Amino acid sequence: MPAQPPLRVIQWATGAVGSYALHSVITRPEFELAGVLVYDPDKAGLDAGGLVGLPETGVPCVDDVDLIMATEADCVLHMPLPAAYFGGHYATDLRTVCALLASGKNVITTTGFIHPKVYGPAVVGQLEDACRAGGTSVYGTGINPGFMSDLLPLALSGLSARLDHIYVRESSDYVGHPSRQIVMDLIGFGRVPRDYAQTVRPFRAVQRALFSESVQLVAEALGVELDQVEETDDYELATEEFEIKAGVVRQGTVCASRWIFSGLVRGRPFMTVECVHKSDAAKVRRWPAPGFAIHIEGRPQFTLTIDELSHGLAGAAAHAVNAIPAVCAAPAGVRTLLDLPLITGRGAIRLS
């Protein structure tokens, strides 16, 4: 049987997650890099390989959206920051994704779309129409949401004789995160309390949207109809000044935050997701240490913990890259993790 030609892949955005994805696409033989879209004008014109510390590929980075739209490819790894981070609207990302789908390219995105039904039939209809027009599929993914708060809880639920409550906790340490835009400007570390609430409004909107998708996906997969998804948040102030990679956190400014999203049924939580963000876990003692935990209440009752996850951004990128073959092979339409075969790291194995 002749070998299958490599899948042509476009990398859309080369931030922290996008750069990891680009590195994988270039180094894995089952993929061929078709194009790279960048937002930073200083990156435009650079070779894609040099951008991620690899030999030249012959594929230049471009900042021309129309050129990328016209480029033939099997799949686009769509990895910009969600438009809502910048005060925009979900519809901005929706229009971009629909245009890519209608142009004949499958789309894997980390801007949401984990469970688009949350936004109603109009949004799903636009996506389905674009998929039909292009004969393509769209799949939203990430590490959390996209894996930790949906795929893993669903897998663990298979051990339940009775399931009362699903609890997922993520605690993240941002001490080494390089992006000031994300860590200081969006999450709000280093802000005084009077400015913090205004600063994090875009971040709050994105968090609420993403985790509402995740919680609703799990509930629907388990046959549970939620009444609502409730969100609360809190923050902690620094007791001393210290420096992290993204900037300086001064005494009296926000150094950590906690977000809780609860899917409620008749006023009681069926699923709860807790997200803790710490500017420096060594300086912030309040709230749990970095890692992930999934607790299933019922019969049996058990907890799965992941005490350490190095390079979490690489994990988010890898899950998207590993999904490319399954998404390209799937029937046209909106896809969730429930529609695809189990996504593994088979293509990432290196034994020599």
- Find all residues with CB under 8 Å of 26, minimum gap 6, and list them: 33, 48, 49, 52, 54, 57
- Residue 128 in 3-state DSSP? helix
Residues pairing with 75 in the sheet: 9, 106
pLDDT in tens, 35-51: 999 999 999 999 999 99
Beta-strand relationship, 162-173 and 291-299:
antiparallel
pLDDT in tens, 111-129: 999 999 999 999 999 999 9
- Find all residues with CB under 8 Å of 93, minimum gap 6, and list them: 80, 82, 83, 109, 111, 112
User: Looking at residue 82, what is its pLDDT?
Assistant: 84
Who has greater pLDDT, 230 or 16?
A: 230
Return the H-helix or E-strand segment holding 290. Answer: none
pLDDT band at 201 (very low <50, low <70, confident <90, very high): confident
User: Looking at residue 234, what is its pLDDT?
Assistant: 95
Phi, psi values for residue 240, rounded to 5°: -155, 165
pLDDT in tens, 257-301: 999 999 999 999 999 999 999 999 999 999 999 999 999 999 999
Is the predicted pLDDT of residue 87 greater than 90, yes or no? no
Q: What domains are defined for the chain?
A: 7-141+323-348 (3.40.50.720), 151-309 (no CATH)
CA distance 68 to 240: 47
Beta-strand relationship, 254-265 and 268-278:
antiparallel
Is the predicted pLDDT of residue 309 greater than 90, yes or no? no
CA distance 240 to 296: 38
User: Looking at residue 226, what is its pLDDT?
Assistant: 96
Rg of the chain over Cα atoms, rounded to whole angstroms, equals 20
User: Looking at residue 312, what is its pLDDT?
Assistant: 80
For the whole prediction, is pTM greater than 0.75?
yes
Neighbour tally for 228: CB within 10 Å: 11
pLDDT band at 352 (very low <50, low <70, confident <90, very high): low
Is the predicted pLDDT of residue 340 greater than 80, yes or no? yes
Of 168, 169, 170, 172, which is closest to residue 153 (Cα–Cα)? Answer: 168
CA distance 125 to 133: 12
Average pLDDT over residues 181-199: 92
State the chain's mean pLDDT as an integer. 93
Decide: 210 and 147 in contact? Cβ < 8 Å.
no
Is the predicted pLDDT of residue 1 greater than 60, yes or no? no
CA neighbours within 13 Å on the CB side: how many for 294?
15
pLDDT in tens, 212-243: 999 999 999 999 999 999 999 999 999 999 99
User: Looking at residue 22, what is its pLDDT?
Assistant: 98
User: Looking at residue 307, what is its pLDDT?
Assistant: 85
pLDDT band at 2 (very low <50, low <70, confident <90, very high): low
Residues pairing with 294 in the sheet: 168, 304
10 Å CB burial of residue 339 (0-12, 13-18, 19+) is: middle
